[in-house]
Chains A and B, each alone.
Chain A
């Protein structure tokens, strides 16, 4: 988000579509995410000319070609670094970073960490499909242990990274979660956009070719009630049609699932979600799926001054009262004048 967003621009979903043929596999979850973004942008009043999508390499990173705005498809893992240069050079721009689990957490994990700790004002959408799609199905840093793939025929041994936990641990001030076909995804995107600073959104995405239905345990309709915990600021953490909730086990300092009888969540001591509570956010991103539902929605949102803003402030302070004078600049330091009579101070 930027200061210009106060000026809303009227657009329709059509205005955000390019003439380029979309080249994802039929049925890929990326289509749904693209539509969600293209649907959300008009609602935000975003201006195509001030919007820049920056991506790395991978299936997800083709995204910018399909959005009618400015777009930069960079190199593997480096989108956050390129985006940092874009935003510092022109803080007026709305910068979106599109990355994947390989791009953003493997080859580019370093940059993801640093953009989050610096808190550059941008939206980072990490499409997590737990597999390398573009290189034909090798296991990724988020693949579950035992994932069989061309490079792990006996099952992967690596312990997976958790994108949202990584982002929060890196100092992220906005952590959101959604999945490709979720009707709630636009709401998460809107909240991310409104957050001033680096907003990290993990989007579970179904790779129908190499890792089909790996998230079906919670994304499928039949599993939604038990599998999804949609977190909303100021609302109790309820799921399973309000019959279950999340409470704090004060003795062990961890979360636990409680039964909610007759909708009386207060009696069950269900936590009311506070998006600024960093401690609870840490527990939500670490909640093991299976024992718990998958925490989705805006898990954490507590802005602090953004990097670009601070760079701007420091810049203004440093230049105040100084007049650039190139001739003076090259003439400074210890100088002396040579005249025919010899040098003098």
Chain B
């Protein structure tokens, strides 16, 4: 039976947005629960944003603090652009999940806990001396604690499963309860379970029974306390077809679309790395779109094979995360020198070295823009959200083939894993950018390094009669492409390579994402900080502050009007999940006083952190603008997950100390 501990605060019965976090052991199926809840939320017409957070270990020891896996979803009736600052509802499947996640919960928020897991052994593993459900330490929240384990076992009894299998239905029981709370239709879940367990109908039926039992429990428990249904109105979105999409999905689809728009077969050379592997996984299944995937022996072979494929007339693509991108650096230089098209996807993660494989960071901007030997200019574009990654991938394919250059697309662990609703694009609205290959020598003989008006050299496929020529990493002679170490020639070629890439900026104009051109303050962002910046600017503007939001997609070359745009504001704030990398580029390029706001805790910005930084420009106190946001354990991703040695970090403390 439910133990109702406290009831002092009310959860808003019809809020604009709600944040729910599911947390449990890595074996509890929390990511799957969260994913299915996301789907039902999308079907209910809410806008949403999610944040999956899981340990770096595949199977961390059961019940431990570092084995906690969590999934947070923010959904509502208005536009949602972040996974939410603090949860309203926390579902904690064991003591460790409660310990690591409760501090994040809003005061008065609801904790749903499975008492079946709150035994001495699990409390010890979570370093609880006394049972928090019984000792009053959760007093500032509402707690609904009952034996979900036992209720699940009861509900699946008729199916004769072993205890272990039966307990694995717990997540569906919990999901059933959550569906009841938010008035969601169970049918899509039932259909999904039937197809997932098509080969094992007993498991399908058991899971459906658990789902129904959780739902029924909600209806009954409603009579008895804090558990009440919360209705969130559908978000006002344009009519049309929608689906959920993660950044990794969107990148893969965008690459396929980009290659098709260029009229080229795609060759993808990849090597598994977190969090970029998902792109290789999904492209491997799309062979009918003229996609060849190659799992190479290492990161270098992955990019080198892609370069070879581009040389032979395909669109070469490779993908990795920071450490792998570092290994690919020399080959990028080869693609720059030989002027072959190539798309490089970098799903950034915390660094340096192995760093934080499953945590998000934006700290590869220097690496992307500057990280090669020699003067090696390369276009860089950054996706702001999972759905934006689709358009960025297409844009990268366009630039690569239209300018004969490698292009890097920056996403990050947050964008790669997070899901959001996506208005399915009308592909006929994308203008094709067909590729042309040189088929006969230019007047006066073959010149593989002759230029068109964009300074692009011709693309010549081996197999073309009469156009045999040699390319390579040694400096090329202007026009002929022969080896040439001459000083004047190197000067000329260096300038050509620079000017070609800078020329890409022609026609790329930076828009103001929110607010006006000119004013007191502009918040300049790039990549996945789009969500929190746009919300913070929205709130600040609502409070009457003259602040605008400019979010940069083209990191290099920067948009042609950006200098004039930035100089139209009195102040510039650049929030980044690094120690100030875009800030450096902006200062260098435009000699503007861009003030950094930095956060490098492996956690996305929260809206209030940016709001606070905005306020500092208007508070009349000199010299307090910008700075560093300190690490904060009360936020997903939680600092206790993801350490390979399983150690706990000193700033992790118990709910009582909050």
Listed in ascending order, the chain A residues whose CB lies under 8 Å from chain B are 18, 20, 48-50, 52, 54, 57, 64-65, 68-76, 78, 80-90, 92-93, 110-111, 113-114, 311, 315, 318-319, 322-324, 326-327, 329-340, 342-343, 345
Contacts and interface: CB of A to CB of B under 8 A. Distances in A.
Contact of A333 (B44, B243, B260, B306): B243
Given A71-B471, A74-B473, A340-B239, A345 B311 contact: no
Interface string B409-450: 000000000000000111110000000000000000000000
Label chain B's interface by main secondary structure.
mixed
Interface stretch (B283-291, B350-358, B555-563): B283-291
A83 B301 contact: no
Contacts of A114: 296-297, 301
B301 A334 contact: no
A292 B457 CA distance: 55
Nearest to B44: A343
A153 to B, nearest CB: 30
Contact of B468 (A70, A111, A338): A70
A338 B289 contact: no
Nearest to B243: A335
Nearest to B236: A338
B623 interface: no
Tell me which of B301, B309, B312 has the highest count of chain A C-beta atoms within 10 A of its own C-beta: B312
Contact of B292 (A49, A81, A89, A342): A89
Interface in B278-328: 286-290, 292, 294, 296-298, 300-302, 304-314, 316
Nearest to B296: A81
B257 A326 contact: yes
Interface in B222-264: 234, 237-245, 249, 253, 256-257, 260
Given A110-B298, A340-B239, A93 B463 contact: yes
A86 B482 CA distance: 21
B45 interface: yes
B241 A337 contact: yes
A83 B426 CA distance: 38
B468 A49 contact: yes
Contacts of A73: 470-474
B288 A70 contact: no
Interface in B460-482: 461-474, 482
Contacts of A82: 304-305, 307-308, 311
- Listed from nearest, the 5 A-B pairs whose CB atoms lie closest are A85-B308, A73-B472, A81-B304, A85-B305, A71-B470
B42 interface: yes
B43 A343 contact: yes
Given A68-B468, A331-B424, A336-B243, 17 more contacts: A20-B470, A49-B468, A50-B462, A71-B471, A72-B338, A75-B333, A75-B334, A78-B301, A85-B314, A87-B312, A114-B297, A318-B287, A324-B288, A327-B426, A333-B243, A334-B244, A338-B237
Contacts of A333: 243-245, 249
Contact of A85 (B39, B242, B269, B286): B269
A323 B288 CA distance: 7
Contacts of A74: 304, 307, 334, 472-473
A330 B43 contact: no
A304 B76 CA distance: 59
Interface of B: 39, 42-45, 188, 234, 237-245, 249, 253, 256-257, 260, 265, 267, 269, 286-290, 292, 294, 296-298, 300-302, 304-314, 316, 330-331, 333-334, 338, 390, 424-428, 461-474, 482-483
A315 B292 contact: yes
Contacts of B238: 338
Contacts of B306: 85
B312 A89 contact: yes
Nearest to B40: A334
A65 B473 CA distance: 12
A49 B472 contact: no
26 contacts: A48-B468, A49-B462, A52-B312, A52-B462, A72-B338, A75-B333, A75-B473, A76-B330, A78-B300, A81-B297, A85-B309, A89-B267, A89-B309, A90-B461, A111-B301, A114-B297, A114-B301, A311-B294, A319-B287, A323-B288, A335-B242, A335-B243, A336-B243, A337-B240, A343-B45, A343-B234
Contact of B304 (A57, A78, A315): A78
A85 B474 CA distance: 21
A49 B308 contact: no
Contacts of A85: 267, 269, 294, 304-312, 314, 316
A74 B249 CA distance: 32
A89 B242 contact: no
Contacts of B297: 81, 110-111, 113-114
Given A83-B308, A329-B286, A49 B463 contact: yes
A64 B472 contact: yes
A82 B465 CA distance: 22
A335 B241 contact: yes
Given A81-B301, A334-B39, A343-B45, A92 B468 contact: no
Contact of B462 (A81, A86, A327, A345): A86
Nearest to A63: B470
A88 B313 CA distance: 11
A338 B287 contact: no
Nearest to B254: A330
Nearest to A316: B287
Given A82-B305, A89-B267, A330-B257, A336 B312 contact: no
A253 B426 CA distance: 70
A49 B464 contact: yes
Nearest to B256: A329
A326 B425 CA distance: 10
Contacts of B45: 336, 338, 342-343
A23 to B, nearest CB: 9
B595 to A, nearest CB: 40
A329 B289 contact: yes
Contacts of A68: 468
A101 to B, nearest CB: 19
A206 B508 CA distance: 56
A337 B421 CA distance: 11
Contacts of A88: 267, 292, 294, 305, 309
Nearest to A314: B287
Contact of B466 (A49, A318, A327): A49
A85 B240 CA distance: 40
A183 B113 CA distance: 83
Nearest to A327: B427
Contacts of B474: 73
Contacts of A87: 308, 312
A86 B308 contact: yes
Given A329-B286, A338-B242, A84 B425 contact: no
A163 B43 CA distance: 61
Given A81-B300, A324-B288, A92 B463 contact: yes
